[in-house]
Amino acid sequence: MIVNFYKIKISMSKIALITGITGQDGSYLAELLIKKKYKVHGFVRTNQKIKKSDHYWRLKKIIKKIKLHLVDFNKDYDLKRLVKKIKPNEVYHLAAQAHDGHSFKNEFYTLNTNFNFTHKILSLSKEINPKTKFFFAGSSEMYSKNIKEKINEKTNFNPKSAYGIAKTASHYLVKNYRENYAFNSSTGILFNHESPRKGDEFVLKKIAKSVARIKFGLQKKITLGNIKSKRDWGHAKDYVYAMWLVNKQNKASDYIIGTGQLNSVEDFLKKAFKYVGLNYKKYLIIDKKLFRKKDSLARIANPNKIIRELKWKRKFNFDNLVKDMVDNELKKFKN
Ligand code: NDP
């Protein structure tokens, strides 16, 4: 019998569909899945022009290795046609209006994007192939802002924003699909994670950029709000690896994904400046206007379940995160 090994190899490679592929996590996840020999498809909203815009800067390295599809999540027919055509084995639903703060300003848009779209893509994935593995990106914003103990999978939800409400409702939907339809759907409840690919409006990215600019004499000072503010910050590369581990298993479940450690903005500031041989105190301006009216108590993750069950191990500690973000900014000027 003649066996066509080439064909066998092709048919065995998995097909992944990533929504939110242009974002920080989507781009790292696509890179990881390509390394793992997946065929990667990504949904891109219709108002963006594929390949022609700076909008795809995060996908530059892999743009030729992935297949992007323009899609309007409001058009059910298009969505169905595409999922049917792609036939994914694994879906990673990351697309979201991802700014918690903005969600107060536009509740209807946030709920539509973060809840209704989740419902559509979840339901379609099950309808088209009930064996699909489905990962949904939840958030620490699903919890109250006043929890002192570490948050685990049993902690009660108590969201305080349209963003948090949409994430919590979506999580319950994902759980119900798992329990009622035996669908392999999981939520990864993600705590804050950063990287060189984070949006410029976020504080750690702002610091990393400023450090490089100050080092090269292009900027004199950095203005920040409450530098005592703390978060459980990890590196996005570790978090997308966790997403893959979650979808790899045969028994779906929900997992807290965080570091279990708190650091302040000041910790990042101090380490970032020290990394380039400077003392942050000489360059810092504190502006009280930048303080949040209601800055939350720092929520802290207990990631023991994912460490124990899926053997998740982080490659980046806080020092490596600082180094990676600052190095990336320095590189831009050195080039
Ligand atoms: P980004 O903001 O970097 O990316 C968000 C992605 O969602 C982008 O691809 C964006 O597309 C897409 N998107 C936004 N609105 C729409 C829409 N209306 N229709 C279609 N696509 C849309 O977020 P991250 O990569 O950092 O986050 C990934 C997921 O993880 C999100 O669900 C987020 O809520 C969640 N999460 C992230 C945390 C973090 O610290 N990063 C913490 C907790 C949860 P476009 O490029 O066109 O804007």
* 292 within domain boundaries: yes
Tell me what pLDDT residue 335 has: 63
Tell me what pLDDT residue 100 has: 74
Query: What pLDDT, in 10s, does the model give residues 63-73?
Result: 999 999 999 98
Q: Are residues 147 and 288 in the same domain?
A: no
For the chain, the domain total comes to 2
* 239 within domain boundaries: yes
Q: Are residues 116 and 39 in the same domain?
A: yes
Across the range 32-37, mean pLDDT stands at 98
Q: Is 53 left (phi over 0), alpha (psi -120 to 50) or beta?
A: beta
Q: Which of 24, 54, 72, 204 to mutate to test ligand 1, by most ligand atoms within 8 A of the CB atom? A: 24
Query: What pLDDT, in 10s, does the model give residues 133-185?
Result: 999 999 999 999 888 899 999 999 999 999 999 999 999 999 999 999 999 99
Q: Are residues 125 and 28 in the same domain?
A: yes
Specify whether the CB–CB gap between 235 and 320 falls below 8 A: yes
Query: What pLDDT, in 10s, does the model give residues 82-132?
Result: 999 999 999 999 999 988 776 678 999 999 999 999 999 999 999 999 999
CA of 54 to the centre of ligand 1 (A): 17
Residue 3's pLDDT band (cuts 50, 70, 90): very low
Residues in contact with ligand 1 by the CB-under-6-Å rule are 20, 22-26, 45, 48, 73, 94-98, 113, 137, 139, 190, 192-193
State which H helix or E strand residue 257 sits in: strand 255-257
Q: Are residues 43 and 104 in the same domain?
A: yes
* 4 within domain boundaries: no
How do beta strands 222-224 and 284-286 pair?
parallel
* CA-proximal residue: ligand 1, atom 26 (nearest): 24
Is 1 exposed, middle or buried, given 0-12, 13-18 or 19+ CB atoms closer than 10 A? exposed
* 132 within domain boundaries: yes
User: Catalytic residue numbers?
Assistant: 139, 141, 163
Q: Are residues 217 and 158 in the same domain?
A: no
Tell me what pLDDT residue 5 has: 42
CA of 20 to the centre of ligand 1 (A): 6
* 69 within domain boundaries: yes
Point out which residues pair with 306 in neighbouring strands. Answer: none
Q: Which of 45, 120, 135, 246 to mutate to test ligand 1, by most ligand atoms within 8 A of the CB atom? A: 45
Output the pTM of the full model. 0.94
Residue 333's pLDDT band (cuts 50, 70, 90): confident
Residue range(s) defining the domain that contains residue 43? 15-194+232-257
Phi, psi angle pair for 94, to nearest 5°: -110, -15
* 183 within domain boundaries: yes
- Strand intervals (E) in the chain: 15-19, 39-45, 66-71, 90-93, 133-139, 184-190, 193-194, 222-224, 230-231, 234-235, 255-257, 263-264, 284-286
Q: Are residues 117 and 158 in the same domain?
A: yes
Q: Which CATH number covers residue 271?
A: 3.90.25.10
